[in-house]
């Protein structure tokens, strides 16, 4: 039996020596498993004499321990060898460019709003904001649009109560600003406005405007024209000219609609300007004396000009977009183009 144990030990250690990861498992089963060779020897110990039994038992345990530790050692060796090979094979080039994550970008309306803000900030204007949920007083009455005035028809909006509504224009910010500031005032106010218009390619119940207001001593229509001309050149190109057409707004007197010469054809007439050579860009005028006095500013001492433009409109003109609905649909095929 002693010889048998010695033989098992020699054989096992030898095969462990040359084994790989998967054959190690086989070896373990072959010698140490339930039906393994060493187990078989231990089972036969009943036939031994009482003197021999402990000696053989001890020897068998030693053999088991030897085999177990040889296997454990080999497992360790094969593992570290595998790791070494892997590290050699998989070199990492840290100078290689990474995989770029797709990054979003700002919405075309936001980008044009910022462009507009930057142009006016460059001319010394300050950006102020007003509430979208507004009082009838600021949206209409203080702007010289009393109840039942026909101008309310073109600016029908959403009413929360008789006196509270979603603002239909950014012009109420003029009043709010003049109420608590002394001239000189030079502000622009961009933001959302609402009208109960049905959605089509040029109308939306929600859109964006940018309001401008300048009040000081001796402000004239010449200042308005110079300011808007500078703006148009910065926005549409240095060759751009502007023209004023007489118009009516209740809160300015005189009032004008302002066109820019078409930046695509230079004024000859093309598809963008519909053959006109001119594109309407905004409404403007000299602040009505009633509006100044409504805000506690003496129209004998001060004068001012104001203008209001649609940010969607400017974006559509400058980016060649023919349907306002595209701005609000969040279709990535559209947004990705900007």
State the residues that interact with ligand DAH by CB under 6 A.
169, 171, 211, 249, 252, 283-285, 306-308
Number of alpha carbons in the 13 Å side-chain half-sphere of residue 301? 7
**Residue nearer to ligand DAH on the CB measure, 284 or 316:** 284
Q: What distance in Å separates the CA atoms of residue 65 and residue 24, rounded to the nearest whole number?
A: 16
Contacts 24+ apart (CB under 8 A), 265-272: 266/239, 267/241, 272/317, 272/320
Task: Please tell me whether residue 238 adopts helix, strand or coil conformation.
Answer: coil
Least Å from the CB of residue 100 to ligand DAH: 43
Question: Distances from the Cα of 299 to the Cαs of 95, 146, 283, 291, in angstroms?
Answer: 69, 20, 21, 9
Q: What distance in Å separates the CA atoms of residue 270 and residue 262, rounded to the nearest whole number?
A: 8
Least Å from the CB of residue 216 to ligand DAH: 16
CB 232 within 8 A of CB 260: yes
Virtual CA dihedral for 286, 288, 289, 294, nearest 10 degrees? -130
Least Å from the CB of residue 222 to ligand DAH: 16
Least Å from the CB of residue 153 to ligand DAH: 13
Tokens representing residue 103 in the block: 């990054």
14-35 b/e (C-beta count within 10 Å ≥ 16 → b): ebbeebeeeebeebbebbbeee
**Residue nearer to ligand DAH on the CB measure, 9 or 252:** 252
**Residue nearer to ligand DAH on the CB measure, 258 or 326:** 258
Q: What distance in Å separates the CA atoms of residue 30 and residue 283, rounded to the nearest whole number?
A: 95
**Residue nearer to ligand DAH on the CB measure, 9 or 209:** 209
Least Å from the CB of residue 264 to ligand DAH: 25
Least Å from the CB of residue 338 to ligand DAH: 25
**Residue nearer to ligand DAH on the CB measure, 210 or 326:** 210
Least Å from the CB of residue 138 to ligand DAH: 12
**Residue nearer to ligand DAH on the CB measure, 26 or 293:** 293
**Residue nearer to ligand DAH on the CB measure, 215 or 306:** 306
Q: What distance in Å separates the CA atoms of residue 85 and residue 12, rounded to the nearest whole number?
A: 27
Contact partners, residue 209, CB within 8 Å, separation at least 6: 169, 170, 190, 191, 193, 308, 309, 310, 311
**Residue nearer to ligand DAH on the CB measure, 108 or 308:** 308
Q: What distance in Å separates the CA atoms of residue 187 and residue 177, rounded to the nearest whole number?
A: 9
Task: Please tell me whether residue 94 adopts helix, strand or coil conformation.
Answer: coil
Least Å from the CB of residue 156 to ligand DAH: 12
The residue number with the shortest CB distance to ligand DAH is 308
Pairing of strands 278-287, 185-194: unpaired
């Amino acid at each position: 039996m002693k010889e048998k144990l010695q033989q098992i030990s020699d054989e096992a250690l030898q095969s462990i020596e040359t084994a790989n990861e998967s054959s190690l498992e086989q070896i373990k089963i072959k010698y140490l498993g339930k039906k393994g060779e060493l187990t078989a020897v231990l089972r036969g110990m009943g036939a031994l004499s009482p003197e021999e039994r402990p000696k053989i038992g001890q020897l068998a345990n030693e053999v088991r321990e030897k085999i177990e530790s040889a296997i454990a050692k080999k497992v360790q060796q094969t593992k570290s060898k595998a790791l070494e090979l892997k590290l050699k094979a998989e070199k990492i080039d840290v100078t290689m460019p990474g995989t770029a994550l797709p990054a979003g970008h700002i919405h075309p309306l936001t980008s044009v709003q910022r462009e507009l803000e930057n142009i006016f900030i460059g001319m010394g204007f300050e950006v102020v904001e007003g509430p979208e949920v507004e009082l009838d007083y600021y949206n209409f009455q203080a702007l010289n649009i009393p109840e039942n005035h026909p101008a309310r028809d073109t600016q029908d909006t959403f009413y929360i109560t008789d006196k509270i509504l979603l603002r239909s224009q950014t012009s109420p910010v003029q009043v709010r600003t003049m109420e608590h500031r002394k001239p000189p005032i030079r502000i622009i106010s961009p933001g959302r406005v609402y009208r109960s218009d049905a959605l089509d390619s040029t109308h939306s119940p929600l859109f964006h405007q940018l309001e401008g207001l300048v009040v000081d001593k001796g402000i004239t229509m010449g200042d308005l024209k110079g300011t808007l001309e500078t703006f148009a050149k910065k926005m549409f190109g240095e060759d751009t000219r502007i023209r004023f057409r007489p118009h009516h707004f209740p809160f300015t007197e005189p009032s004008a609609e302002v066109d820019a010469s078409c930046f695509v054809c230079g004024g000859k007439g093309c598809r963008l300007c519909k053959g006109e050579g001119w594109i309407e860009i905004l409404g403007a005028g000299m602040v009505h004396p009633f509006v100044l006095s409504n805000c506690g500013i003496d129209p004998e001492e001060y004068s001012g000009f104001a203008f209001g433009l649609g940010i969607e409109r400017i974006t559509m003109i400058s980016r060649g977009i023919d349907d306002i609905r595209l701005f609000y649909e969040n279709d990535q095929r559209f947004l990705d183009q900007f």
